[in-house]
Structure 1
Amino acid sequence: MNLLEVNKVSKWFRDPVALQVLKEISFTINKGEFVCLTGKSGSGKSTLLYVLSSMDTDFTGSVKINGEELHGKTNQRLAAFRNNHIGFVFQFHYLLQDFTCLKNVMLPGLKRKKYAAAEVEQRAYELLKLLGVEDQANKRAALLSGGQQQRVAIARALINEPAIIMGDEPTGNLDSQNTDIVLDLFKKIAAENGQTLLVVTHDDDFANRADRIIHIEDGKIVS
């Protein structure tokens, strides 16, 4: 079953001059698949990820997640869709440093209001346990190492049971040991939870352990 369907997506930057950065990109990703987007700096891979995540709406073509067309929706509807269906993990974890790890993970769940606060808290703790940082739950995020903070960020991305998790260089600031931990977690999430992962990376070793690689050059898929 196709979880993500991308059809002829193109994008231009128009300042200071018109430049086409994505050129009729088309591909599909199946439910439960772990896919890496690779390419040199400036190839368009991160731009594509932001289009697919609905955080960039200035493009032509079609993007569907779970059969739902995202292009043309209002910003308000897209924000609600993201909170319900898409989890994000960035190179920089963007945790609220003065909040506890548990609270950081809970925030998207509280915003969604699907479950009572007590249940969101329990789910958040279980995710921290899954990611091996439950002993840090009540510490302020600022007190954790970089690798621990990134695992908390992954737990936060999972709290609303997203259909797809998108990552932009999620291991870019991690050493090799923590990179391996994050990679193993991603593979576990895809295999056990049936969640789809789409990750931008420049790390060839990381990409080669995904189910599939989509390689971009000059705004086009080349392999």
Structure 2
Amino acid sequence: MNTALSAKGLNKYFHEPDTFQVLRDVGFEVKKGEFVAIVGKSGSGKSTLLYLLSTMDTNYQGSIAINGTTVTGLSQNELSRFRNAHIGFVFQFHYLLAEFSVLDNVMLPALKLGKKSKELIEAKAMELLTMLDIRGHEMKKASKISGGQQQRVAIARALINEPAIIMGDEPTGNLDSQNTKVVFDIFRQLAHETGQTIIAVTHDDEFAANCDRIIEMVDGKIMS
């Protein structure tokens, strides 16, 4: 099985203030180890689509399968467990816990999943911090490191449970061009060297152009 994510016939409506169809029969597949950008103008439906794919929004028509599991129709508790085990998130804002150390921030999702001992989780966290070149900052509070470093900590946190897919919502939207390149290079390395699947919504044309594939959305439909 080489498919990391499969979406079929996705339709989504908003009902406030009037009924409006925001996704129209969206369907596509993403292979394991593929680095995909979802692009489109504001209001094209790309963030709504990511929200559905991430299993956060369950109010839609159609079906979504991740890593061979159909997630459509699962209960909120099942989805919460599934997300923690199979999906890593990197947002425009890093959402680190400011008063916690860098190391604690990275370890949190794995402690919550509860599948490994604290010692193993800490060792894995340190391995990720080394890979992402933030070793030496692990005991600092998350609020005491730079924006680019915070985003790398957020990536380490997203990777701690070895997820099937990393989903990024404007993951470089808050970064300067140098740090944007650093984060992009990390994603590309993850996809091409460790087979990590990455789906990122982005406004950054250069970021998108360097991905393996671009999914362009216009008025709730996939154009290319």
**1:146 equivalent in structure 2:** 147
Please state whether the residue corresponding to 2:41 is helix, strand or coil: coil
Deviation at 1:70, TM superposition (A): 0.8
Is the aligned partner of 1:76 residue 2:68? Answer: no
**2:214 equivalent in structure 1:** 213
Structure 2, unaligned stretches of length 5 or more?
Answer: none
**2:57 equivalent in structure 1:** 56
Following the alignment from structure 2 to structure 1, what is the Cα–Cα distance between the partners of residues 67 and 111?
23
Deviation at 1:184, TM superposition (A): 0.3
Following the alignment from structure 1 to structure 2, what is the Cα–Cα distance between the partners of residues 95 and 29?
28
TM-score, normalised with respect to structure 1: 0.99
Please state whether the residue corresponding to 1:136 is helix, strand or coil: coil
Size of the aligned set, in residue pairs, is 223
Following the alignment from structure 2 to structure 1, what is the Cα–Cα distance between the partners of residues 145 and 14?
38
Structure 1, unaligned stretches of length 5 or more?
Answer: none
Deviation at 1:66, TM superposition (A): 1.3
CA-to-aligned-CA distance 1:87-125 (integer Å, 9 cap, x gap): 000000000000000000000010111110011011001
Please state whether the residue corresponding to 1:134 is helix, strand or coil: coil
Aligned positions of 1:121-160 closer than 5 A: 121-160=122-161
Is the aligned partner of 1:13 residue 2:14? Answer: yes
Question: Percent identity, aligned pairs only?
Answer: 58
Deviation at 1:68, TM superposition (A): 0.9
Following the alignment from structure 2 to structure 1, what is the Cα–Cα distance between the partners of residues 10 and 74?
16
Deviation at 1:191, TM superposition (A): 1.3
**1:203 equivalent in structure 2:** 204
**1:194 equivalent in structure 2:** 195
**1:27 equivalent in structure 2:** 28
Following the alignment from structure 2 to structure 1, what is the Cα–Cα distance between the partners of residues 136 and 70?
41
AA at the equivalent of 2:150: Q
AA at the equivalent of 1:79: S
Following the alignment from structure 1 to structure 2, what is the Cα–Cα distance between the partners of residues 67 and 23?
24
TM-score, normalised with respect to structure 2: 0.99
Question: Considering only aligned residues, what root-mean-square deviation do their CA atoms show, in Å?
Answer: 0.5
CA-to-aligned-CA distance 1:2-45 (integer Å, 9 cap, x gap): 11100000100001110000001000000000000000011100
AA at the equivalent of 2:57: D
Following the alignment from structure 1 to structure 2, what is the Cα–Cα distance between the partners of residues 153 and 146?
11
